Chains A and B, each alone.
Chain A
């Protein structure tokens, strides 16, 4: 029985060609090899694979475009009183209704969005620039300079943020957008400065930077190739996550009466004005609150998407 089996196997001529894996020759292996990619292009691709982040980005673009163009092209003006049409519920004429002076809320909500988004985005940009410069200088010089600079940051961050903002608003006695921005970023850069410093120090002590130095790579190239990409990706995520906080901060300030003054408005000012008559005219609160929530959520989701895209460990 056994011998038969052995014989029958031997009888069938074994042809090495039968044992080749189809399509596994070197020529076609080259075809399957992944195209060379750079880090940034790869991150870009991963961001766009994240549906939620892309939806958030689109929503933000739509909201921003509306805040720019609705007030320009609408037939209503943001300050025109119409005392005959006060406190009207949403209708074909006034899509978001009218407020207690008869002003069209659709225009006012989008015009208010300008202030909120400008404060959010510009505030984040200021915080990022100041934080990068400050943190970068501290990390670069190190030693005593670093210690002094970081003590200052610690002191500044230990002061409650809102207290500073309120004091600033009161002292500066004006509630224009620049004042608000100044008040909200005056200590807001501290966490970014810390992040930049620690990230720079960590990278400059890393073994891959040591390897580059040992191979004679110039300091400038080390900064451009290692320090900036590795720091930038962390900062961009942190900064994106700060925008919702700034938008909310503006809303809060407007709520306690320190925000932009009428006839100019913002989402925070609109919802605070709607507060007194919330039970009878909830639509006045609904639209600005909805937009604050949507915008904050979108920035947060986009930050999530950026973080995932920029972290190569999550690359698939």
Chain B
């Protein structure tokens, strides 16, 4: 990919203070790029720092260190006017369709809220825009006067999407947008998001732990473990030949990925360590079936093992 990246995330760290003066290393030295028009997915088990990563990129949380370049410019150093544009062009869709809509606002007001900050329109034009957006996400005009609790989870998530689209964005962080929905609804919402992406040329940072859904939607995937990126690759090679032992274990749990092959489901021993006190050396060393002495002492660096396929493991080439 020779295009200029939309986002360049370099050595990003985000630590939270924890009880007793300790720190939670929620995102610990993560580096990746997001290119315009693609869907970049972050996958990993709950608590590995996906949400924190997405939120830090959009500036919900200040970063602890590292850099986030947006179209080549450091986001932390943006001017007021630039920040205003940044706020319009970059949106988020939330995991919980219940808490992401103000229960005391009508749907119409919710969709208009951000849009009215950035676009000068008459009230009639605003209502027209709301109707247009409701149609775009597969709902009808009369939803505008309803309250969030009158809607189903899938409908609320569509409202969340409409609210983001109202800003006419280029980039949307989708933080597990379907995890809280019924399985029957999930595919509808995902298909809507894919359609919208094609129609409007959107770029997605898609966060999920549902590996079959991620395969369906992603162009490239980053696998996270304990706040770090362990593997980074275009979708097809990653599913065909995962290189990192953690990715292999994660993928062996999906029923249809390795069907027909001799490979067994890999069961990891032990619990995920706490991000307050991660293992020294390779963070995966406490659970890795191939761990050697070197793994406990020296943290592996992200290296490109095959074209565009990066992995953080000392032994990945031999495995």
Interface residues of A (CB under 8 A from B): 29-30, 33-39, 206-208, 210-218, 225-226, 229-230, 233, 312-313, 315
Instruction: State whether B102 touches A217 (Cβ < 8 A).
Output: no
Q: Which residues of B contact A212 (CB under 8 A)?
A: 113-114
Nearest residue (CB) in A for B141 is A33
Instruction: State whether B145 touches A33 (Cβ < 8 A).
Output: yes
* 6 nearest A-B pairs in the assembled complex, by CB-CB distance: A215-B114, A216-B87, A33-B142, A207-B100, A208-B102, A36-B145
Q: Which residues of B contact A218 (CB under 8 A)?
A: 117
Nearest residue (CB) in B for A230 is B104
Instruction: State whether B117 touches A312 (Cβ < 8 A).
Output: no
Interface residues of B (CB under 8 A from A): 58, 60, 83-84, 87-88, 90-92, 94, 96, 99-106, 108, 110, 113-114, 117-118, 141-142, 144-147, 149-150, 160, 163, 167
Given known A-B contacts A36-B108, A216-B117, A230-B104, A313 and B149 have beta carbons under 8 A apart: yes
Q: Can you list 5 contacts pairing A with B, beta carbon distance less than 8 Å?
A: A34-B146, A37-B106, A213-B60, A229-B104, A312-B104
Given known A-B contacts A34-B142, A216-B118, A211 and B149 have beta carbons under 8 A apart: no
- Distance in angstroms from A104 CB to nearest chain B CB is 50
Instruction: State whether B99 touches A315 (Cβ < 8 A).
Output: no
CA–CA, A36 to B143, complex, Å?
10
Instruction: State whether B94 touches A34 (Cβ < 8 A).
Output: no
Nearest residue (CB) in B for A32 is B142
Interface contacts (Cβ under 8 Å), in number, total 86
Nearest residue (CB) in A for B86 is A216
CA–CA, A229 to B147, complex, Å?
15
Q: Which residues of B contact A36 (CB under 8 A)?
A: 106, 108, 144-145
Given known A-B contacts A35-B145, A215-B117, A217-B117, A226 and B92 have beta carbons under 8 A apart: no
- Distance in angstroms from B149 CB to nearest chain A CB is 5
- Distance in angstroms from B157 CB to nearest chain A CB is 12
- Distance in angstroms from B175 CB to nearest chain A CB is 9
CA–CA, A225 to B113, complex, Å?
10
Known pairs A225-B105, A225-B113 / 10 extra A-B pairs, C-beta < 8 Å: A36-B108, A208-B100, A210-B92, A212-B114, A214-B60, A215-B167, A216-B114, A216-B118, A217-B117, A233-B104
Q: Which residues of A contact B94 (CB under 8 A)?
A: 207, 210-211
Q: Which residues of A contact B99 (CB under 8 A)?
A: 206-208
Instruction: State whether A215 touches B149 (Cβ < 8 A).
Output: no
Instruction: State whether B104 touches A215 (Cβ < 8 A).
Output: no
Instruction: State whether A210 touches B60 (Cβ < 8 A).
Output: yes
Q: Which residues of A contact B114 (CB under 8 A)?
A: 211-212, 215-217
Nearest residue (CB) in A for B144 is A36
Instruction: State whether A315 touches B100 (Cβ < 8 A).
Output: no
Instruction: State whether A34 touches B91 (Cβ < 8 A).
Output: no
Q: Which of B84, B92, B101 contacts A214 (CB 8 A)?
A: B92
Instruction: State whether B60 touches A216 (Cβ < 8 A).
Output: no
Given known A-B contacts A208-B102, A233-B104, A315-B150, A214 and B58 have beta carbons under 8 A apart: yes
CA–CA, A133 to B118, complex, Å?
33
Instruction: State whether B91 touches A215 (Cβ < 8 A).
Output: yes
CA–CA, A216 to B101, complex, Å?
16
Nearest residue (CB) in A for B93 is A211
Given known A-B contacts A36-B108, A212-B114, A215-B167, A312 and B103 have beta carbons under 8 A apart: yes
Q: Which residues of A contact B100 (CB under 8 A)?
A: 207-208, 211
Q: Which residues of A contact B146 (CB under 8 A)?
A: 34
CA–CA, A33 to B150, complex, Å?
14
CA–CA, A86 to B90, complex, Å?
82
Q: Which residues of B contact A315 (CB under 8 A)?
A: 147, 149-150
Q: Which residues of A contact B104 (CB under 8 A)?
A: 39, 229-230, 233, 312
Given known A-B contacts A34-B142, A207-B99, A226-B102, A214 and B149 have beta carbons under 8 A apart: no
Instruction: State whether B118 touches A34 (Cβ < 8 A).
Output: no
Q: Which residues of A contact B144 (CB under 8 A)?
A: 36
Instruction: State whether A217 touches B106 (Cβ < 8 A).
Output: no
CA–CA, A58 to B105, complex, Å?
30
- Distance in angstroms from B295 CB to nearest chain A CB is 38
